[in-house]
Amino acid sequence: MKIRDVEVFQVQWAPEDNPAQCSAWVRVQCDDGPCGIGEASPMQGGLASLGIVKHNLAPTLIDKDPLDHAVLLDTLLHTFVKLGPEGALTRALAALDIALWDLKGKLFKQPIYKLLGGAWRKSLPFYASIGGNGERSLDEVLRVVEARLQDKPAAVKIRFDNDRTRPDIDILGDIAKARAVRRLVGDHFPLAFDANNGYSVGGAIRVGRVLEELGYWWFEEPVQHYHVKALGEVAQKLDITVSAGEQTYTLAGLADLIAAGVRMVQPDIVKMGGITGLMRCVALANAHGVELVPHQTQPTIGHMANLHLAASQAHATKPCELNDPSPRMHAVFENPPRPVDGLFPLPQAPGLGVQINEAELAKRRVPIA
Ligand code: CA
């Protein structure tokens, strides 16, 4: 069995979407078998990662055995490491890893979670991840949270997405929004607060103390992600769980976060290593008694890959992230992922369990130069 072709393309969900708003997909085809589909993080449409797949990675995969995929991808990581292991290259490898797991599942006629050793749970709760709250008025924040509660999430995370070059820009405003959301949902509903790297250490501790008083579940990326020691300092000074890791692209980087004192890490399946990479992260977190709660913002392929990984994880302490509940990407799937009563059923079909509507995909597919 050999890899015959690696397709690399963007998916343009609506005619008005510019390239930066498209998804970044790959598809690996065997000579005598099914194909597997994968997705890279779509930062700027994933164009940097798709270019690396097309021009550097795909040519070396042709005629290789897809069941050697971990060896193949680790070889590629080390061959092309100077292209930038902190981002574009690892996102490219993540897309290929997911596609090769999908392919492997189809070859063995098993869902991926079975190949990972089985599922601890077959229905997975999710949390509503709500971005853009730094720019919204307090009332607008409340209206958006109210709307997302209708999907029956197990928790809500409010993200601030402020200008990263202007830390501590509106600490009092952020605190007021955190208080208002707590009042809206009541004392017992689980809430999380994502600073998106928006504070200094002092600012983060000030906000974190209020989040503790308000009973928030976790406090995400309080300071710049590259200030690993500072993240650890904030985590150690606060009682609330401080999390980070969505901008960490290597296992060694994750180990540095843990060593600094971060006790909840959030690697992302479409950014670092795909399913294989996340399984390694799970082992690392388990070895250190650290929570691993994957970051995940892509609502279709990335989400499905994450469900298999999360279901196979023994010590899952938080629900899966669901960023965008919009159905605008559903047309390309025969079975788009949808929650039922606040739970995502674990896909049971071979591989990822996604069935592509090829005619609809063809209308939206944008080739990569
Ligand atoms: Ca985040």
pLDDT score, position 102 = 98
Backbone angles phi, psi at 313, to 5 degrees: -90, 120
The predicted-structure confidence for 207-223, as pLDDT tens digits, reads as follows 999 999 999 999 999 99
If DSSP codes are grouped into helix, strand and coil, which group holds residue 320? strand
Q: How far is the CA of 350 from the centre of ligand 1 (A)?
A: 31
Taking Cα atoms as reference points, which of 145, 143, 140, 141 lies closest to residue 156?
Answer: 145
Average pLDDT (110-118) is 98
Q: How confident is the model at residue 85 (pLDDT cuts 50, 70, 90)?
A: confident
Q: pLDDT above 70 covers what percent of the chain?
A: 100
pLDDT score, position 240 = 98
pLDDT score, position 100 = 98
Average pLDDT (241-267) is 98
Average pLDDT (26-37) is 94
The predicted-structure confidence for 160-195, as pLDDT tens digits, reads as follows 988 889 999 999 999 999 999 999 999 999 999 999
Q: How far is the CA of 351 from the centre of ligand 1 (A)?
A: 28
Q: Are 335 and 354 in contact (CB under 8 A)?
A: yes
Average pLDDT (245-272) is 97
d(CA 154, CA 220): 17
pLDDT score, position 33 = 81
Burial annotation 228-246 (CB, 10 A radius, 16+ → b, else e):
bebbbbbbeebebbbbbbb
Amino acid code (one letter) for 225: H
Taking Cα atoms as reference points, which of 22, 48, 41 lies closest to residue 95?
Answer: 41
pLDDT score, position 332 = 97
Q: Evaluate if residue 354 carries a pLDDT over 90.
A: yes
Q: How far is the CA of 77 from the centre of ligand 1 (A)?
A: 25
Query: Going from the N-terminus, what domains does the chain have, and what CATH number goes with each?
Result: 3-109+357-367 (3.30.390.10), 114-345 (3.20.20.120)
Q: Evaluate if residue 84 carries a pLDDT over 90.
A: no
Half-sphere exposure in the Cβ direction for 179 (13 Å, CA): 10
Q: How far is the CA of 221 from the centre of ligand 1 (A)?
A: 7
d(CA 8, CA 267): 24
Q: How far is the CA of 113 from the centre of ligand 1 (A)?
A: 25
pLDDT score, position 32 = 82
- Whole-number average pLDDT of the chain: 96
The predicted-structure confidence for 286-328, as pLDDT tens digits, reads as follows 999 999 999 999 999 999 999 999 999 999 999 999 998 889 9
Q: Are 231 and 223 in contact (CB under 8 A)?
A: yes
Q: How confident is the model at residue 86 (pLDDT cuts 50, 70, 90)?
A: confident
The predicted-structure confidence for 45-64, as pLDDT tens digits, reads as follows 999 999 999 999 999 999 99
Q: Are 38 and 54 in contact (CB under 8 A)?
A: no
Residue 107 CB partners (closer than 8 Å, separation 6+): 1, 30, 33, 34, 66, 67
pLDDT score, position 325 = 85
Backbone angles phi, psi at 203, to 5 degrees: -65, -40
Average pLDDT (326-350) is 94
Q: How far is the CA of 246 from the centre of ligand 1 (A)?
A: 7
Q: Are 316 and 322 in contact (CB under 8 A)?
A: no
Question: CA–CA distance from 151 to each of 325, 339, 340 (Å)?
Answer: 9, 8, 9
Whose structure tokens read 């598809």? 27
pLDDT score, position 359 = 98
Q: How far is the CA of 80 from the centre of ligand 1 (A)?
A: 28
Q: How far is the CA of 267 from the centre of ligand 1 (A)?
A: 10
pLDDT score, position 162 = 82
Q: How far is the CA of 316 from the centre of ligand 1 (A)?
A: 18
Of the listed ranges 122-126, 262-266, 307-311, 337-341, the one predicted with least confidence: 337-341
> pTM surpassing 0.95?
yes
pLDDT score, position 109 = 97
Taking Cα atoms as reference points, which of 125, 123, 128, 192 lies closest to residue 342?
Answer: 125
Handedness of CA 335, 338, 340, 344 (dihedral sign): positive
Q: How far is the CA of 303 from the centre of ligand 1 (A)?
A: 15
DSSP, residue by residue, 327-339? GGGGGGBSS----
d(CA 287, CA 27): 34
